[in-house]
Each structure stands twice: as C-alpha cells, then as structure tokens.
Amino acid sequence: MTTKNTYHPLVIITLLIFILPAFSFNIFSHKAPPAESWCDRPLRRGLEKLAEIKTSRPWFKVYNVGHNTYAIDEPYNWEETIGYLILGKDKALLFDTGMGLDSISLVVKELTKLPVTVLNSHTHPDHIGGNSEFGHVLAMNANYTRINSARGYQHQDVKWEVRPASFCLSRLPRADTAHYYIKPFKVSRFISDGYMIDLGSRKLQVIATPGHTPDAICLYDKQAGYFWCGDSFYEGPILLSGDSTDLKAYKKSINIMSHFAAMAKRVLPAHNLPIADPALVIKAAAVFNQIASGAQKGVPGEDNTLVFDFGKFSYQIGQRFMPQLVLSKKP
C-alpha cells in the first residue's frame, strides 16, 4: 500500500528558490566544459572502424590506415591533431609531430626501426610540437617556416591549449602545463614545391598549398593513391581565420588539391578523422569557388567569422579576410 505525501507550501517555495536557478544555469550557461569532459567523452565516431595499434603512451591512439602508414592521433584534446608515420623500404617519414604534450618519438620507435625524417604540413604549434625530438627535419623554404622553427612558440602563445577545458590531463600525469611551450627546432634541409621524398620503393611528392598558412603543403603517394592534406581540408570546421590566412592563395590551393583528390583513393587530413572521402575535397573546391564568386552566403560565427556549412565540413572564414576574395576576382 502507498501513501500520498503532502508538503507544506513554505517547503515547496524554498525548494523552488534553490532548484530553479541551478536548472536555469545548466540551460543557459555557455561556459567552457568542465575539465573532465575530454576524459569522459567517447572517441570521435568513425575511429572505432579502424585497426588500432597499441603503444605504451596513453595520450596517443595509433591506427593502421593501410600501405604501411600509421595515423598517430591525439584525440584527448580539442585540437584532435593527427600525424602520420609513412614507411618505405629504407626510411620513414613522420608527417607532423603533434602537440608536444607527450613524446611522439617514443611512439615512433615502437612502430619502426627505420631512420625517420620529419616534415610538417605547416608550422602551427599543434603540428610541430615534437619536431625537436628528431635529428632530421625537412621544411618548406618560406619565411614563415624559418621564423617558427627558429623561435618555436612561447608559453603565452600556446597556454590556451592546456586550459583545463581543452584536454584530458589524466592522460598526461606528468605534464607541466604551467610551462608548456613549443621548442625551436633545427631544419636539416629547406625544400620547395614539387620536391620528391624517396623512402625506398615509395616516393612522396610535396605540393605547396598555401592559404591556411604560407607554408602549408600536401603530400601525394601516386603508387598507393594516398593524399595527405594537413589543415587545408578535414571533416569539421576548416579554419581560415588566423593572421596568416590568404584566401586568394587558398582558392588556388584547394583547386590544386581537387586535382590530386580526383586521382586519390584516400585523403588523410591532420585533424578529427584520419581518412576522408576524396569526393569531399572535390566538393570543397567547388563550393569555395562559389564562396569566392559571392554565390554562397555565410552566416555570422564566433570571433568575427563567417560560417559556410556543407554538412561534413564547413568553412569558418575571418570576416576581415573576405575582401581578399573580392580583390582576386577578374574584372
């Protein structure tokens, strides 16, 4: 038998005073997520379909993406940066070295005994964090690259990467977040567009694709049909809002990328998911041409950007850079 509980009106009023403000806060608050969110949230959907290679470093997730290529993912922070270890017969290339929050060289040593050369898709801090751990680094012959390699990034430049809401600290129990910075690194050789990297029975073509940064590049493996595209394309919001953004250059680059994507079997981006459909890059070029012509209209986004949403990917473009597209139009 059950009994019906009754409450004094004063008790109900008191409860409402305390409950409703808290309920409203949860609905309307736009504060950063709690520190534990990056530890609790599941991995990005799609990663579970890939063959994972276990290593001793819990910060990284390593996936075999075929043709002696490993995606070295850092999924426990908001950047979700991905580097790639590409193996040839005689040598290996590490395309991007990540955040520098944990030692990527230790992971690489667990994956291969081959001598390793480093090359970066561009020199933003989340892609060169581990460069200083390696003795042989190729780099684009650009002033932007020279500056970033020589000075790295000081703590004040990257401290937002290690805010409590930005990553899962329990994956890095010995991380010194109070002094986190990106170390300078020595460049062994400066290269340019069209440079061929011979790994032994495997050749990679370097393709200059400036726009996101002046030193942005892609890689193409004709034999495997693999096309690495750095930050110039990935599933998610493609950011063209940094100080070094050049939309006129990006328009040319994404059309070049479309040409290579049309020949590729797989596209391998530097964020979020390690494998993308080449058709998405072809679509990205087509819609960016429409943005440049004024046929596509964006909506206001965060930090004075315009957002152009196309489903699996979007363009987030700084409004201050939009005149570059107007100036690039032919009369």
Listed in sequence order, the residues at least 6 apart from 160 whose beta carbon sits closer than 8 Å to its beta carbon are: 166
| Both tokens assigned to 142 | 């650009």
Q: How many helices (H) and strands (E) does the chain have?
A: 9, 17
How many Å separate Cα 111 from the centre of its chain?
Answer: 22
DSSP string, 6-46: ---HHHHHHHHHHHHHHHHHHHH--PPPPTTHHHHSPPPTT
pLDDT digits (tens, 9 = 90+) for 90-120: 999 999 999 999 999 999 999 999 999 999 9
**Looking at residue 261, what is its pLDDT?**
98
- Give the chain's end-to-end CA distance (angstroms, integer): 85
Listed in sequence order, the residues at least 6 apart from 202 whose beta carbon sits closer than 8 Å to its beta carbon are: 68, 86, 87, 88, 89, 221, 223, 224
**Looking at residue 311, what is its pLDDT?**
97
Distance between CA atoms of residues 145 and 143, nearest Å: 5
Listed in sequence order, the residues at least 6 apart from 261 whose beta carbon sits closer than 8 Å to its beta carbon are: 227, 267, 278, 279, 281, 282
- Hey, which residues does 93 pair with through a beta bridge? 86, 117
**Looking at residue 35, what is its pLDDT?**
44
Find, among 110, 36, 100, the residue nearest to 74 by Cα: 100
pLDDT digits (tens, 9 = 90+) for 29-42: 333 444 457 888 89
| Both tokens assigned to 242 | 């940094």
Q: Which residue has 């390696």 as its token pair?
A: 134
- In sign, the C-alpha dihedral spanning 137, 256, 236, 30 is positive
| 8 Å CB contact between 130 and 105 | yes
**Looking at residue 330, what is its pLDDT?**
52
DSSP string, 122-172: ---HHHHTTGGG-S-BEEES-HHHHHHHHH-B-HHHHGGGGSTTTB-GGG-
| Both tokens assigned to 313 | 């990917």
Residue 182 vs residues 22, 82, 98, 129: alpha-carbon distances, Å: 40, 17, 10, 5
| Both tokens assigned to 195 | 């440079």
**Looking at residue 173, what is its pLDDT?**
78
| 8 Å CB contact between 168 and 39 | yes
Residues of the chain where predicted confidence (pLDDT) is lower than 70: 1-36, 327-331
pTM of the predicted protein model: 0.88
Distance between CA atoms of residues 250 and 223, nearest Å: 27
| 8 Å CB contact between 183 and 132 | yes
What phi, psi does 238 have (nearest 5°)? -80, 120
**Looking at residue 175, what is its pLDDT?**
82
Distance between CA atoms of residues 55 and 106, nearest Å: 9
Find, among 113, 115, 153, 112, the residue nearest to 132 by Cα: 153
| 8 Å CB contact between 284 and 233 | yes
| 8 Å CB contact between 220 and 210 | no
